[in-house]
């Protein structure tokens, strides 16, 4: 069913009691940004609620003949600047609150990058590792069956996220096209190239983050060869970014996945780690063979240990709320780049800011994915496809331009980078919402 959200996330009316949730925590960043920009009351009111939330039950016939019901969600947070855009994640801990928070972040991400999209997100409560490929396909197609009236190339565009990939996006596009009785490539991005996908989309999140890092670190006089990096999360984004940084000369000293990680003070051989992860689906044993262990001094570590290593750059590229008020005092990195969505709680933010640790936020750092998704959507609509070089050049130009604007806002107002990013996105959202009419417009003579 489609339901309204019971309480606002921005305290524009003290008569409402805010819930304690991931979404409420995410909104605290918005409240801080409001101190540095003049925004109409209408804009604040409209951003206080997700536009619509859909909860669906997805029946799936399992390989053994049994029927299992999965719960899925799709949230439209705001569509003032264009149709909703957001990924679909498959994870056992998906909640409606989480999906709403991700749609909230996507709203600001698209505005910050000046993309003609609003914010949306979806998810299914499932551990895809426990399903066969055929069961995952039936689940993916079943999800689209249930949300088909809620999405579309001019309403809400799906994309890959945690534990979803180009193959799953292809299934979703195919199912939606069957329902509509016409080929509708623009309803999904992150598709296989043979089904209308874009060159560079699979690496876009990591490449966009790499461009931000390459723009920012020279401002602090950081030289790649002298800069140590730890990356939590070795999925598509984390592994790709590790390779890009390794090739650029950065010293990657630690990486981890959901099973744990490895730490080598003298630096890891990232191509070897990547090969091992691909072959064995874990990285902890990558240096277990004598021939390699003799060469590389290393030790196995937990994900939490990785976060507190003494490194120059920390990159959380896993899930939400990895750095909280409990472990923020132990963080030793000088610079944090959020490749995951919401890896740092608002309480941890305050601690890190007070300690002088520079945090570069998710709505900027990981925006490469949605930017190239926009490129894919444009290519689908035009029927004209770009080369990899063209895609990467357009992405680099976009990331560089908006990173510099956020940096300038932070310097001008003497505020942290996250707040500057929200100020930048909020300004564009406010302009779009005000263009539809505000109280001042309707009450003026």
User: What is the structure's pLDDT at 280?
Assistant: 60
Catalytic residue among 121, 191, 243, 251: 121
User: What is the structure's pLDDT at 174?
Assistant: 98
In percent, how much of the chain has pLDDT > 90? 76
This prediction has a pTM of 0.88
Which residues have a Cβ under 8 Å from the Cβ of 363 and sit 6 or more positions away? 105, 108, 109, 112, 421, 422, 425
Which residues have a Cβ under 8 Å from the Cβ of 244 and sit 6 or more positions away? 206, 207, 210
User: What is the structure's pLDDT at 91?
Assistant: 96
CA distance 360 to 407: 10
Query: C-alpha angle with apex 330: 325 to 331, nearest 5 degrees?
Result: 95
Structure tokens at 276: 């091992």
Structural domains of the chain sorted by starting position, each given as residue range(s) with its CATH number in brackets: 2-188 (3.40.50.10860), 204-365 (3.40.50.720)
Is residue 191 within 8 Å of residue 166, measured between CB atoms?
Answer: yes
b/e code 417-442 from CB counts within 10 Å (16+ = b): bbbbbbbbbbbbbbebbbeeebeeee
User: What is the structure's pLDDT at 437?
Assistant: 81
Residues of the chain with pLDDT under 70: 1-20, 277-298, 445
User: What is the structure's pLDDT at 108?
Assistant: 94
Residue 396 is among the residues annotated as catalytic for this protein = no
CA distance 205 to 370: 8
Is residue 201 within 8 Å of residue 388, measured between CB atoms?
Answer: no
Is residue 159 within 8 Å of residue 373, measured between CB atoms?
Answer: yes
User: What is the structure's pLDDT at 278?
Assistant: 67
């Amino acid at each position: 069913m489609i339901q309204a959200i019971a309480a606002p996330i921005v305290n524009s009316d003290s008569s409402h009691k805010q819930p304690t949730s991931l979404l409420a925590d995410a909104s605290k960043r918005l409240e801080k940004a409001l101190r540095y920009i003049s925004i109409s009351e209408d804009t604040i009111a409209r951003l206080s609620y997700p536009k619509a939330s859909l909860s669906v039950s997805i029946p799936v016939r399992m390989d053994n003949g049994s029927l299992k019901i999965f719960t899925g969600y799709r949230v439209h947070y705001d569509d003032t600047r264009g149709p909703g855009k957001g990924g679909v994640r498959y994870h056992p801990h998906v909640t409606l609150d989480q999906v709403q928070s991700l749609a909230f972040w996507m709203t600001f991400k698209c505005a910050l990058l000046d993309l003609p999209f609003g914010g949306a997100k979806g998810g299914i409560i499932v551990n895809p590792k426990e399903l066969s490929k055929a069961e995952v396909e039936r689940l993916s197609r079943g999800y689209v069956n249930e949300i088909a009236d809620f999405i579309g190339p001019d309403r809400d565009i799906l994309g890959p996220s945690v534990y979803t990939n180009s193959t799953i996006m292809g299934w979703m596009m195919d199912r939606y096209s069957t329902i509509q009785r016409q080929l509708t490539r623009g309803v999904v991005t992150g598709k296989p190239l043979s089904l209308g996908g874009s060159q560079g989309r699979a690496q876009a999140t990591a490449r966009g983050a790499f461009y931000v890092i390459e723009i920012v670190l020279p401002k602090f006089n950081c030289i790649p060869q002298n800069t140590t990096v730890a990356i939590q999360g070795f999925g598509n984004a984390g592994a790709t970014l590790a390779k890009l940084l390794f090739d650029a000369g950065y010293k990657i000293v630690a990486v981890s996945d959901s099973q744990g990680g490895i730490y080598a003070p003298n630096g890891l051989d990232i191509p070897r780690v990547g090969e091992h992860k691909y072959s064995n689906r874990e990285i902890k044993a990558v240096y277990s063979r004598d021939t390699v262990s003799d060469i590389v001094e290393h030790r196995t570590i937990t994900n939490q240990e990785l976060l507190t290593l003494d490194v120059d750059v920390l990159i959380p590229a896993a899930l939400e709320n990895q750095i909280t008020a409990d472990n923020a005092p132990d963080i030793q990195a000088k610079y944090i780049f959020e490749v995951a969505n919401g890896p740092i709680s608002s309480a941890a933010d305050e601690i890190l800011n007070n300690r002088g640790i520079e945090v570069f936020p998710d709505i900027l750092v990981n925006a490469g994915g949605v930017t190239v998704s926009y490129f894919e959507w444009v290519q689908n609509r035009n029927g004209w496809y770009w080369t990899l070089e063209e895609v990467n050049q357009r992405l680099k130009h976009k990331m560089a331009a908006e990173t510099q604007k956020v940096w300038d806002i932070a310097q001008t107002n003497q505020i942290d980078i996250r707040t500057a990013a929200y100020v930048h996105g909020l300004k564009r959202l406010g302009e779009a919402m005000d263009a539809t009419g505000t109280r001042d417009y309707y009450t003026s003579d």
